[in-house]
Amino acid sequence: MVTVAVLGASNNPDRYSYQAIDLLAKHGHRVYPIHPLLTEILNQKVYGNLDALMMNEDIQLHTLTMYVNAKISSEIEDQILRAKPARVIFNPGTENPDLATKLKAAGSEVLEACTLVMLRTGQF
């Protein structure tokens, strides 16, 4: 089981982040949706930001999967770096080369990949 934060979580079933939350949970991973305005998705508590999630001492974040654009991820870069994820997945459309460089320098594995494809093909 991997602990995964979904940054840019959505409560819209048509959105890839919603589908990722659902599929991650079905694969037995511990999923933490992150969105500043939502409170629950698929019966799971939604955290307003990464800092709020990381305040929980029991959470050791393994994977951060990104569903926000580079402008948003740059604005919360400090939170992302403070979370110290072991792995960050930049899903299509979320690529942020500057942030990726900083994450690699901080020791995170960085992938440009699709979380849904990784899960469906056993590569997650």
**Per-residue pLDDT tens over the stretch 7-48:** 999 999 999 999 999 999 999 999 999 999 999 999 999 999
Average pLDDT over residues 73-91: 98
- 60 is in which domain, residue-wise? 3-120
DSSP state of 46: -
Considering the chain, what is the average pLDDT of its residues?
Answer: 97
Q: Per-residue pLDDT averaged across 93-119, rounded? A: 98
What CATH number corresponds to the domain at position 55? 3.40.50.720
- pLDDT-derived band of residue 57, with 50, 70 and 90 as boundaries? low
* pLDDT for the residue 56: 79
Residue 6 has pLDDT above 80, yes or no: yes
- Residue 82 Cα distances to 52, 77, 85, 115, 118, angstroms: 12, 9, 9, 22, 25
- At position 71, the amino acid (one-letter code) is K
Q: Under a CB-based contact definition with an 8 Å cutoff, are residues 1 and 28 in contact? A: yes
Predicted TM-score (pTM) of this structure? 0.96
Answer yes or no: is pLDDT of 60 > 80: yes
| Domain count along the chain | 1
Identify the pLDDT of residue 58: 81
Phi, psi of 110 (to 5 degrees): -120, 130
